[in-house]
Structure 1
Amino acid sequence: MMDPMRVRFPIPVKLLAGFLANVALIALGFWIVFRSQFGGASSGLMQGIMEPRLQAMAERIAAELRDHPRSAWGTLLKDHSETLGIEFSLFDSEVQYVTGAHESLPPDLLEAVKEKLTPHLRRRGDGNGPPRQPPPPPPPLGLDPLDDIFGSSGGARPPPPPRRDDEQDRGPRPINPAMAEYPTVMAHTDTPPGYWAVIRVPAVAAERGYLPALLVVRSDTLTAGGVFLDPKPWLYASVGVLLVSALIWVPMALSFTRSIQRLRKNTGRVAEGDFEGAVPDAHRLDELGDLGRSVQQMAQRLDGHAKGQKRFLGDIAHELCSPIARMQASLGILQQRGEVNGDEKSQRYMEKLEGELQHMSVLVNELLSFSKANLRSEVKLKPVLLAPLVRRTLQREDASEEAGTAKVEVPEHFVAMADEDMLSRAIGNLVRNAQRYAAGTGPVEISATRANGHVSVSVSDRGPGVSAEALPRLLEPFYRPDVARSRESGGVGLGLAIVKSCTEACGGKVEVSNREGGGLSVTLKLMADQGTGADEARSG
């Protein structure tokens, strides 16, 4: 039994939750890689993505710096900061502060800048690298003055001193803006927190071009208002991938869940005893198809077993009819002789034997009725007027409204599609059960309602009812709610089973429930005639 405290999640919800969890996991993985690539001074992945946007911005700002005097650079950078919502600073090629929001760089960023953008500082020893060693002194000149002028006696000139790259020691060379490159260093720092980009731009005027300067950009966010990264294309691409994935995944998931739901409904019908319905999705070439074919095979075998069992019961009942009839005839003869002889003891034995034979006769007749109701494979349904049928059935069962033993509330115009004999037998069994178990508690109530293309006929009483545990099993053959019931009070346990078989043969279903205030109510739900067969039912 399912725990009522547990929350039930349908399979589509579980599949959707798994899909969303998978998407979230992929997004988390991308974010971890994203942050790891941009978490320190090294930013190879992010730099490749952001560098084109940064270079375009740096070109514009460098051109403005070249067009304005040095005294206006602070105002120019401040205007760009206010426009873009990020902070700008400018340093010279010696990493000395010129103007802007920040007068110094974080240590990690400074190391990366000296490594990639100002390598002359490391060669000169201004960075953290080893200082450059001075060049070796020239070899000493010969003692002979003529050797100094004309060379040694061997005619070979002394080697010249090693050439020193003074321009590199002094600093970077001037740059032509038209041919300039804009190398970039990017980093994320925790102290102070922020995302940084340093771009080398030609900005300081010189004799043969422009000396490089370092344009520093800092933002509190990774996108920097679209300067570092524009998230919209990424968002659109992610939404597009999600939609395409959903278009592929959702139909497949719905196909699985619909097949499972159809199989569940079919197995429910099999559990209720309907073995003849076709199993859906048995044609599928996957595991669900295998399951459908297995359910279909199971239903066919159960149908064979059930029909064989019912046929066996019918054959036994039929074979028992003749011996019982002969025994009753013989008993009648013996009773007549006993009355003539006046043997009271033998007469009592005869009466007891007559009761046993009568009970056996009722049991056999019930078995025959149950077997016939189940083995009628071809039942022709036709429109049946319910009110006249109910009155004839009550008359047969010795119940009537005039005698106060029945109460009928069936509209005269209600017509159901059914087999008249089987429907009459089902209603008669219900009336008989009510008379047996609710005698003296009030009349048997028969009512009918119509809704949603169905007619419901209810037979109710004010008897003791049955326990909630027994309700689901009342329609089973030979089931008795009270095992202590005697033959006289409890019957043989086939009455409601016959009601179920007759109703299902008419294409309907049976519902059993306890009434408020005491009593039992059994409802036969049948297909309603849509009006075309009403005249035919009246004439019949």
Structure 2
Amino acid sequence: DDADTWEFSDDELGDVSRKLLTLYRDKIHAEREKMHHERQIGMNVSHELNTPVGIIKGYLDTVLADDNMPDALKRKFLVRAQQNTDRLANLVSDVSMVMRLQEGGAIDYGIINFRDMTAQIAEDIAQGHIADNMTFICDIPEDCLIKGHESLLTNALFNLIYNAAQYSGGTRISLLWKGENDGMHRFEFADNGCGVDDEHLDRLFDLFYRVDTGRARKNGGAGLGLPLVHRIITAMGGDITVENAPGGGLRFTFTLPAA
């Protein structure tokens, strides 16, 4: 049927061909970028795992090679090996969680009383001496109920606290409720430390990114804490941003769905 026949001029055919070629090139480029990203993650994971493994092996090899090593020195080496074993276990757990969240793994949601949860976190901080050099200020209303996964969310908040305690150089941490809008609670987590240079802000949630590589390695940081926070918050339907606060320190603003 002539009415159903599609006819194209040479110019139109050329334009279609160019568009198809552009789409194909874009697809190839995206695939290559994805492969490069995944390869880089794999290399970083391998490197981070090898560091504590090498330390553990060094201490154990030294202990086993010296039958006459004094008990005090032997215990010191075994304690260091145990500490790095814990670090390795935590690293494996964090990598596994990041990958699961990145791949859209299923999350079981429940209703969480955010005030009760953060009160428990405050008690754990004190008992565990996690931020002894800082005052933790928490202001959450009694009726603040959110929909989420309590264990993952606790993990995210502890990572924010640990990051501030280890790297901010500040004396105060605060977690504040800033209101509810369109079914989302908004919170602000901040410290009064030194903050970071603006050039680093956009990369703080990138896997394995360190603002100060040397200092992070010395303190055991692997560049996984803040990326994990970002993935947990977004997996629960919220969002999170970070900025340098006007008075100093980092300020994270995040949202979570109201129950």
- Asked if these proteins are the same fold (TM beyond 0.5), I'd say yes
Q: Aligned match of 1:377 in 95, 102, 105?
A: 105
Contact conserved, 2:63 with 2:77, CA < 8 A, in 1? no
For residues 187 and 255 of structure 2, what CA distance do their matches in structure 1 show? 7
1:444 and 1:459 in contact (8 A); partners too: yes
Structure 1 residue 511: deviation in Å?
A: 0.5
Aligned to 1:367: 95
What 5-or-longer segments of structure 1 have no aligned partner?
1-285, 530-540
Q: What is aligned with 1:524? A: 254
Q: Tell me the equivalent position of 2:172.
A: 443
The match for 1:412 among 125, 142, 153 is: 142
1:391 positional shift? 2.1
Q: CA deviation at 1:497?
A: 0.5
Higher RCO (C-alpha under 8 Å, 6+ residues apart): 2
Give the alignment's TM-score, normalised by structure 2.
0.68
Stretches of structure 2 that go unaligned for 5 or more consecutive residues are 1-15
Aligned to 2:117, which of 383, 389, 392?
A: 389
Match for 2:204 among 454, 462, 474?
A: 474
Tell me how far apart the structure 2 counterparts of residues 426 and 374 of structure 1 sit (CA, whole Å).
Answer: 15
CA pair 302-385 structure 1, distance change in 2 beyond 3 A: farther
Residue correspondence of structure 1 range 351-366 to structure 2 within 5 A: 359-366=87-94
Residues 297 and 460 of structure 1: CA distance in aligned 2, closer, same or farther (over 3 Å): same
Shift in CA distance, 461/342, structure 1 to aligned 2, threshold 3 Å: same
Q: How much does 1:354 deviate?
A: 5.8
Following the alignment from structure 1 to structure 2, what is the Cα–Cα distance between the partners of residues 493 and 380?
26
- Quick check: 2:63–2:69 contact (8 Å CA) kept in 1? no
Counterpart CA distance in 2 for 1:343 and 1:294 is 67
Helix, strand or coil for the counterpart of 1:372? helix
Deviation, structure 1 residue 358: 5.4
| Structure of greater Rg | 1
What residue is the counterpart of 1:238 in the other structure? none
- Residue 492 (structure 1) shift: 1.1
SS of 1:484's partner is helix
Find the aligned partners of 2:119 and 2:43 in 1 and give their Cα distance: 32
Question: 1:381 & 1:422 partners in 2: Cα distance?
Answer: 10
Pick closer, same or farther for the CA change 1:450–1:307 going to 2, 3 Å: farther
Please state how far the C-alpha of 1:315 moved relative to its aligned partner.
9.5
Q: Do the aligned residues in 1 keep the contact of 2:94 with 2:224 (CA within 8 Å)? A: yes
Say whether residues 1:331 and 2:60 are aligned partners.
Answer: yes
Q: Aligned partners of 2:32, 2:142: CA distance in 1, in Å?
A: 41
- Structure-2 separation of matches of 1:367 and 1:315: 8
Q: Give the TM-score normalised by the residue count of structure 1.
A: 0.36
* 1:183-235 C-alpha deviation (Å, 9 max, x unpaired): xxxxxxxxxxxxxxxxxxxxxxxxxxxxxxxxxxxxxxxxxxxxxxxxxxxxx
Deviation at 1:355, TM superposition (A): 6.1
Q: What amino acid is aligned across from residue 95 of structure 2 in structure 1?
A: L
| 1:61 alignment counterpart | none
Contact 1:409 1:448 (C-alpha < 8 Å) held by counterparts: yes
Deviation of the 1:457 alpha carbon: 2.2
Q: CA deviation at 1:426?
A: 1.0
Distance in 2 (CA, whole Å) between partners of 1:311 and 1:482 is 19
Q: Report which of the two has the higher share of helix.
A: 2
Does the aligned pair in 1 maintain the 2:63–2:74 contact within 8 Å? no
Q: Does 1:495 align with 2:225?
A: yes
Change (3 A) 1:503 1:299: farther
The one-letter amino acid paired with 2:168 is A
Give the 3 Å change call, closer, same or farther, for CA 334–435 of structure 1 in structure 2: same
Aligned to 2:152: 422
8 Å contact kept, 1:423–1:503: yes
Question: % of aligned pairs identical?
Answer: 22
For these two proteins, the number of residue pairs brought into alignment is 234
Aligned-residue offset at 1:387:
0.8
SS in 2 for 1:445: strand
Please tell me the root mean square deviation across aligned C-alpha atoms, in Å. Answer: 4.6
Residues in 2 aligned to 1:421 and 1:296: alpha-carbon distance in whole angstroms: 40
Counterparts of 1:498 and 1:361, CA distance in 2:
16
Q: Following the alignment from structure 2 to structure 1, what is the Cα–Cα distance between the partners of residues 20 and 109?
A: 36
